[in-house]
Amino acid sequence: MSPKRHSALREGVILGVLVGTSIWAWIAIVDAVVGRPFETFAVLGGIGRFTALHYLLCVIYGVVAVAVVHAAAREASLVVGATFAFFALEFAFVMVSAILSQMGLGALAWVRILGGNVVGAIVTFLVLWTRHPLAREFRDATAAEDD
């Protein structure tokens, strides 16, 4: 495979594992800081089940995110659709946080779940912004417009 060729599957799995790990660590740290280690994991099905499902969903998210970025390099209008999908996903996490705040996680559901989602979104943005050629092209185009 040439160095310029990108694999959505390989890059997406890497992104998904990075996002999954950052969110998992966030939740574990928040639980530990409030003196209830692994409480979120217990409420969401236990450490093993939560971790397996969490990483599976994060890897799927990573593959889809990278595939959309690759497709957006060929069809720029996909960026609008991807942005809409991102905000819809964020809204879904707001709703999940609201539900979980009533189902055993209390007020800290917002910090645990929505906070973890924000951490995951930041990791996604940073990884794609710093590692993907499309981001480099965008930065170069922006710099050329400024000149």
Tens digits of residue pLDDT in 52-66: 999 999 999 999 999
Q: How far is CA 23 from CA 29, 76, 112, in A?
A: 10, 29, 9
Q: Is residue 123 part of a domain?
A: yes
Q: Is residue 1 part of a domain?
A: no
Q: Is residue 59 part of a domain?
A: yes
> Could you give the CA distance from residue 87 to residue 121 in angstroms, rounded to a whole number?
11
* Residue 77 confidence (pLDDT) above 90: no
* Residue 94 confidence (pLDDT) above 60: yes
Q: Is residue 3 part of a domain?
A: no
User: Residue 131's domain spans which residues?
Assistant: 8-146
- The average confidence (pLDDT) of the chain is 85
Total structural domains within the chain:
1
Q: Is residue 132 part of a domain?
A: yes
Q: How far is CA 26 from CA 139, 144, 147, in A?
A: 30, 38, 41
- pTM for the model: 0.81
Spatial contact of 62 and 13, defined as CB atoms under 8 Å apart: yes
Q: Is residue 60 part of a domain?
A: yes
